[in-house]
Amino acid sequence: MKLPQGFKAAGIKAGLKPSGKLDLGLIYSDLPLAWAFMGTTNQLKAACVSRNRSRFSSGDPVHGIVVNAGNANCANGDQGIWDNEDFASLAVNALSLPRVQSMLTASTGVVGRKLDMEKLKTAVPQLVKELELDTDHFAEAVVTTDTCTKQVTKTLRGGARIVGVCKGSGMIHPNMATMLAFVMTDAIVSQEKLREIWPDIVNHSFNQVTVDGDTSPNDMAFVFSSRQARVLEEDFIQGLTEVAQELAQKIARDGEGATKLLTVNVSGARNDEEARKAAREVVRSPLVKSAVHGNDPNWGRILVAVGYSGAVSDMANLKIDLQTRTVYHGKPQDFDAAEISQSLKVNDAVIDIDLAAGTAAATAWGCDLSAEYVHINADYTT
């Protein structure tokens, strides 16, 4: 996809993926970029996550980010920290930038194996030569177990643009299929505003995706702005939210073994946190996921998951709709099970839940649980 003004990107083969596919990517801007960042909450953190967090704390703008797939450079001790720093240096030197701090890093792939710095020494200068005005090669270079690349583009009123690229489909050995998201925009927005709005947007998009409930130590979501095109703040926030949510849906739909995107909309919650939590717990439940896979209108499992989510509900008025048909409303409803089962035989399953306890609403995205998920994750033996 065509990049917003001021951005270049590249993707090439460095030889880190055994498959021989593209595995090294770069996002770059000649002028400094405003940026914001949300990283994994896992106590185990890859070297790149810790370094980006430190860069974020400094408040300094950056010129871009260099990304490798095929090796997570995680749980590698001090060696991993040095290699990560060298990775940034290689990019900075090839770009003739004065400060190594102006380049961020991201790694995804195998945990616990040393990064092949010899390959990167040869590949990174080549990568810089391949910079282009398009994200397609970059999007290919950052995927691991994904079955497709994931890109979204949006043009706002006045012409400002937002382009998002992400990867992720669960965590699968030998790859830790980290969620990485890179959103680029040329909308004029201050670094302060970007950092103010990004956590809330991430909490309502990427942090509402559940494939298997496992949180990778490499998860990161970035937004970068080259600040060149005027935009109304409300348009920008809405556009950025939509891009992030569409990327999140792409991750969920590409979940390991998934045959369906499962969308859970919760309304009537006491507050935003409870709405998000209830939606996440329903979309995470292996029993709900299995029922959706089997086209089974099993509202009991949904009700149970709401119950243990910790979100307060008015049980006497709680309402559950499956594919827009009401199956529970304070008590079981009469419904045509065969008809709902038939309506579930599509690629999109939607559960609407009204907690009847307030006015907050939120959505979570996930996928069904298939026997294929187990095959993918069990039938590999080291």
Catalytic residues: 178
Question: Residues 18, 158, 159, 294: which binds a second copy (CB under 8 A)?
Answer: 294
Distances (CA, A) of 48 to 24, 81, 315: 15, 8, 45
CA angle centred on 143, ends 370 and 372, rounded to 5°: 15
Q: Which of 3-11, 85-93, 191-199, 285-293 is the region at the interface with a second copy (rule: CB under 8 A)? A: 285-293
377 lies in the binding site for a second copy (CB under 8 A): yes
CA separation for the pair 336, 315 (Å, rounded): 23
Question: Residues 205, 216, 245, 263: which binds a second copy (CB under 8 A)?
Answer: 216
Q: Which of 201-209, 220-228, 264-272, 331-339 is the region at the interface with a second copy (rule: CB under 8 A)? A: 331-339
Strand, helix or coil for residue 61:
coil
Angle between helices 272-284 and 286-293 (to 10 degrees): 60
Least distance CB 41 / a second copy (angstroms) = 7
Site string for a second copy, 134-173 (x = CB under 8 A): -------------------------------------xxx
102 lies in the binding site for a second copy (CB under 8 A): no
Angle between helices 191-203 and 233-253 (to 10 degrees): 40
CA separation for the pair 19, 1 (Å, rounded): 24
Least distance CB 261 / a second copy (angstroms) = 17
Q: Which of 1-9, 104-112, 138-146, 265-273 is the region at the interface with a second copy (rule: CB under 8 A)? A: 104-112
Site string for a second copy, 110-129 (x = CB under 8 A): xxxx----------------
CB-nearer residue toward a second copy: 272 or 372: 372
Least distance CB 210 / a second copy (angstroms) = 11
Report which residue type is found at 245.
Q
107 lies in the binding site for a second copy (CB under 8 A): no
Name 267's bridge partners: 354
User: How does strand 348-354 pair with strand 261-269?
Assistant: parallel
Question: Residues 137, 161, 293, 319: which binds a second copy (CB under 8 A)?
Answer: 293
Non-local (6+) Cβ contacts of 253 within 8 A are 260, 261, 347, 367
Least distance CB 182 / a second copy (angstroms) = 22
Site string for a second copy, 170-209 (x = CB under 8 A): -xxx--x---------------------------------
CB-nearer residue toward a second copy: 59 or 378: 378
Question: Residues 186, 284, 358, 365: which binds a second copy (CB under 8 A)?
Answer: 284
User: How does strand 180-187 pair with strand 220-229?
Assistant: parallel
CA separation for the pair 347, 253 (Å, rounded): 9
Q: 12 to 41, contacts with a second copy by CB under 8 A?
A: 41
Q: How many chain residues are in contact with a second copy, going by CB under 8 A?
A: 68
Distances (CA, A) of 305 to 11, 67, 293, 320, 322: 42, 38, 17, 12, 15
Least distance CB 310 / a second copy (angstroms) = 8
Closest CA to 275 of 355, 212, 209: 355
Is 149 in contact with 143 (CB distance < 8 Å)?
yes
CA separation for the pair 109, 74 (Å, rounded): 9
254 lies in the binding site for a second copy (CB under 8 A): no
Q: Indicate the length of the chain as a whole number.
A: 382
Distances (CA, A) of 135 to 17, 27, 141, 245, 272: 20, 9, 10, 19, 34
CA angle centred on 73, ends 71 and 74, rounded to 5°: 120
297 lies in the binding site for a second copy (CB under 8 A): yes
260 lies in the binding site for a second copy (CB under 8 A): no
Tell me which residues touch a second copy (CB under 8 A). Answer: 41-45, 75-77, 110-113, 171-173, 176, 212-217, 284-287, 290-291, 293-301, 303-310, 312-313, 315-316, 328, 330-332, 337, 341, 368-371, 373-375, 377-382
